[in-house]
Amino acid sequence: MREELFSLSGKVAVVTGAASGIGRGCAEFLHEMGAAVAIVDVSRDKGEEVALKLKDRAKYFFCDVTAEQSCADMVQNVIDHFGGIDILVNCAGVIRRKSVVELEEKDWDAVLDVSLKGTFLVSKYVIPQMEKRGGGSIVNIGSGWGIKGGPKAAAYCAAKGGVVNLTRAMAIDHGPQNIRVNCVSPGDTDTPLLRDEARQLGIDENKWLEESAQRPLARLGEPLDIAMAVYFLASDLSRWITGANLVVDGGGTA
């Protein structure tokens, strides 16, 4: 019984934004715990690199999560290859460090489309496939800035706040189909995205990382820290948890 609770053997996981950062960490850890993993990303080279590293039970699939037909095609390609989908991790995201006055419309659209619209579109096509399997688990990646505000991150805060509450709505709608929907909200995690924020703000990268680590646990998060929380919510260990938002931030929002 305990082995069944911990193992993801026989499960198929789809992870968006899996070519780097938190998405890659999630894909690698879910694979390590026994799942077959669809590495989904708009970056072909990096996505193929992750799939090649994992070798067995892993395959790269192209998807632009902002485009409905691309999402529909990706899900069908995953079904054709793996036969079904049990776990979905909606991790694809971008950030623009600007206030509403500084933002251009294209910046706003890019952030909202990837993080929020992408979560909607991929889920739209995955959920019917999960229902065919008798249920499943969706884990959306939010942010600490989805539950509180942050400076010069208006679009990102809006998108991640939307992801957190979309999670609750999806949990209500799809619980009767035995599909659990939860959210993991990371704090600052050492990823290419975090380092890109320093460049956007014109701050020295080392100084930025030091400042980002100033929280009760006195360090930056690592992709593995987030991946282990995602694994918990994806697995049967959390079989009576849905509509929850698990903050994983080293105490940053405490």
Q: Which residues contact 80 (CB under 8 A, 6 or more apart)?
A: none
Residue 99, CA atoms < 13 Å, CB-side half-sphere: 3
- pLDDT tens-digit readout, 176-213: 999 999 999 999 999 999 999 999 999 999 999 999 99
Q: What's the rounded Cα separation, in Å, for the pair 138 and 118?
A: 14
DSSP label of 189: B
Exposed / middle / buried, residue 83 (Cβ in 10 Å: 0-12, 13-18, 19+): exposed
CA distances from 101 to 98, 104, 109, 155, 159 (A): 8, 8, 15, 11, 17
**Contact assessment for residue 223 and residue 24, using Cβ atoms and an 8 Å cutoff:** yes
Q: pTM of the prediction?
A: 0.97
Task: State the pLDDT confidence band at 5, using cuts at 50, 70 and 90.
Answer: confident
Res 4 pLDDT > 80? no
Cα–Cα distance, 93 to 101 (Å, whole number)? 22
Q: What are the sequence ranges of the domains in the chain? A: 2-248
Mean pLDDT of the region 27-56: 97
Note if 60 is an active site residue.
no
User: Looking at the predicted structure, is the pLDDT value of residue 1 above 70?
Assistant: no
Instruction: Flag whether pLDDT at 246 surpasses 70.
Output: yes
Tens of pLDDT, residue by residue over 96-149, are 999 999 999 999 999 999 999 999 999 999 999 999 999 999 999 999 999 999
Of 60, 125, 156, 231, which one is the catalytic site residue? 156
CATH assignment, 2-248 = 3.40.50.720
